[in-house]
Amino acid sequence: MSLRPEEWAALVLSLKVSLWAVALSLPLAVLVAYLLARREFPGKGLLSAVVHVPLVLPPVVTGYLLLLTFGRNGAVGRWLEDTLGLVLAFRWTGAALAAAIMGFPLMVRAIRLAVEAVDPRLEEAAATLGAPPVARFVFVTLPLISPGILAGAVLGFAKAMGEFGATITFVANIPGQTQTLPSAIYAFLQVPGAETAAMRLVILSLVVAIGAVVISEWLSKRVAARIGRT
Amino acid sequence: MKMRVDLTQTYGDFKLDVAFETGPGVTAIFGPSGSGKTTIIKMIAGLVHPDEGRVSMDETVLLDSSKRQSVAVHKRRIGYVFQDGRLFPHLSVARNIRFGGRFTKTPGATPESSVVELLGLGPLMHRLPGDLSGGERQRVALARALLSSPRLLLMDEPLAALDGPRKDEVLPYLEALRDETGVPILYVSHSVDEVARLAEHLILLRDGKIMLSGPTHELLSKPEALPFVGVRDAGSVLHATVVKHDADGLSQLSISGGTLVLPGIDADVGETLVIRILAQDVLISLEEPKGLSSRNILPAIVMSLHKGHGPGVAVSLRLGEDTLLARVTARAAQELQLRPELSCYAIVKATTVPRSSIGHIRNKPI
């Protein structure tokens, strides 16, 4: 199966967008998951709601809100452009932001479950051994939740690869620039006679998705063996 | 090391209100479950905060609620051995016991190699906690706490989760740790056996208040302690030196008030043992009995009587320099006219000292 250049471009862009989305949002997801699982603080309910809202909002609405906020005329978007020279709307960076936001609740949920499964009394034990809070997290909690972090990352990646509604609203569907795999499939389906091309991309999506699942299974087995949970 | 503790806390109807001091060696807090013993050591460790209180070790103040001062758990340098071990499941035994080492600037009083040898961990070092037996896990937990170079070790019923044979397996290690490391220990337990074997000093706790406290052997021999220790478990603690092993399996032990003949003593001649004689296993006779099957008939003097609830009377007897506690019925006490200063004979059945009540003392630091 040989791919045409624009099909290649869609695949490469999708992978780039998804990897960036996961890489940048994962540390924040770990932090938020930990706070939600372990700490009590004012505004905890609000934080939880904000994190989870993309899960229940129509993706088009999320995309439009992103455009209002991060567009060139949006408050944050203008500030980013003026200070950092970073433009998000109608660029691949915006696609990464949309993918990250849509995948974030899934990542937080997976990691939060993992944190809740770790006995907090182990952190207590670490404290009595002289470990300050950060060390307790790094040496005890983090290794024990690593399977959950991995699962969260895979979910986030899968969500980013499939994200369509928010992406097309926020960054449109520009071939070679913001046209991800789902956008490309959508575009082909709009053109009469392009069903074969669409089908090639569908098969490609399947291959990537199955590959991601296989790799994550293999990784999680390795991690489980390393932390002594078989 | 001298620790001063003064804590109050109210949980609904339950009020904890204690003040005590501890020194070197093992101090045990003994009480039934729900008496507040674990809460006390959690407060000393800083894991729980009292309504009001003050905890200091020598000149260092760890907690002073009146000044809103509280040292963080990880800065207190107080080791904690939990009932359930709480080993880190993802780390090998070796990495578990080295965990505390990286956070302390003060080198441990006991080097790792000695601790590993003392607790017999050599063959376990590369295993993961999931592959250890309950007794092995507690030994690793002891080593881990000890190697964080604590000023004090808190032990929260470290044997309670183990069955009988496992307890017997770990107890000698606890004795070795007590006798060879010099780290003061505050030991929480509801088992008289453990407390009698391990602790030099005893605090009897009931419903959040201290009922009695003092040296273990004195306190357990006090008739007043009987209601708190329980009729079945009450008994006195004596130090005995092994004199001779006889061919028929009995051993002669010298105590301050004479000689005891006991079976199944597993110790070398000359070794000093801690033995506990249950109050219900001691009989009192006004005349020296003849033709009795027991070999252990010792002259004694009645010191005091204590009538509790029920039909029993606790009688404390002076036996050389030791005190022996006997439990007789009120009717017997009346018919024998037991009273202070009365001379009598204490009869101890040879087979009645439970094996687990016999502890060893190694080169004991005083």
CB spacing of A125 vs B88 below 8 angstroms: yes
Q: What is the dihedral of CA B96, B77, A138, B112, to 10 degrees?
A: -30
Q: Tell me whether B71 touches chain A (CB under 8 Å).
A: no
Question: What digits encode the pLDDT tens for the residues B61-73?
Answer: 999 988 888 999 9
Nearest to A228 among B74, B82, B89 (CB): B89
C-beta atoms of A128 and B103 within 8 A = no
Contact B74 A143 (CB under 8 A): no
Sign of the C-alpha dihedral, residues B105, B107, B113, B118? Answer: negative
Q: Does residue B366 carry a pLDDT above 50? A: no
Structure tokens at A108: 């937080």
> What does the mean pLDDT of chain A come to?
89
Chain A residues inside the 8 Å CB shell of B128? 228
Task: Classify residue B151 by its DSSP letter.
Answer: S
Amino acid residing at A75: A
Express each pLDDT in B167-205 by its tens digit. Answer: 888 888 888 888 888 889 999 998 888 888 889 899 999
A226 inside 8 A of chain B by CB: yes
| Tens of pLDDT, residues A8-27 | 889 999 999 999 999 999 99
CB B328 within 8 A of CB B307: no
d(CA A210, CA B300): 86
Which residues of chain B lie closer than 8 angstroms to A129, CB-CB?
A: 74, 79, 99-100, 103, 144-145, 148
User: A182 CA to chain B: closest CA distance, Å?
Assistant: 41
Q: Domain ranges in chain A?
A: 5-226
Higher pLDDT, B308 or B305: B305
Query: pLDDT tens digit string along A178-218?
Result: 899 999 999 999 988 888 889 999 998 899 888 888 888 88
Helix (H) or strand (E) holding A36: helix A5-38
CB-CB under 8 Å, A122 with B148: no
- Can you give the pLDDT at residue B320? 86
Helix (H) / strand (E) containing B79: strand B78-81
The number of beta carbons lying within 10 Å of the beta carbon of residue B363 is 6
Query: Any CB–CB contact under 8 A between B22 and chain A?
Result: no
Interchain proximity A227–B89, CB inside 8 Å: yes
Q: Structure tokens of B30?
A: 């003994």
Taking an 8 Å cut-off on Cβ atoms, the answer to whether B86 and A130 are in contact is no
Q: What is the rounded distance in angstroms from the CA atom of residue B274 to the CA atom of residue B263? A: 15
Q: Which two tokens stand for residue B52?
A: 């009001």
CATH 1.10.3720.10 fits A5-226, yes or no: yes
Ordered domains of chain B (ranges, CATH): 3-220 (3.40.50.300), 235-360 (2.40.50.100)
Q: Is A127 on the interface with B (CB under 8 A)?
A: yes
Pairing of strands B26-30, B185-189: parallel
- What interhelical angle do A181-190 and A5-38 show, nearest 10? 130
> For B158-166, what is the mean pLDDT?
83
Counts for chain A of helices (H) and strands (E), in that order: 11, 0
CA distance B187 to chain A (A): 16
Q: How many residues does chain B have?
A: 366
Three-state secondary structure readout of B105-143? CCCCCCCHHHHHHHCCCHHHCCCCHHHCCHHHHHHHHHH
Whether residue A128 and residue B77 make contact (CB cut-off 8 A), yes or no, is: no
Residues A105-133: what's their mean pLDDT?
A: 92
- B365 pLDDT tier (thresholds 50, 70, 90): very low
Does B217 contact chain A (CB < 8 Å)? Answer: no
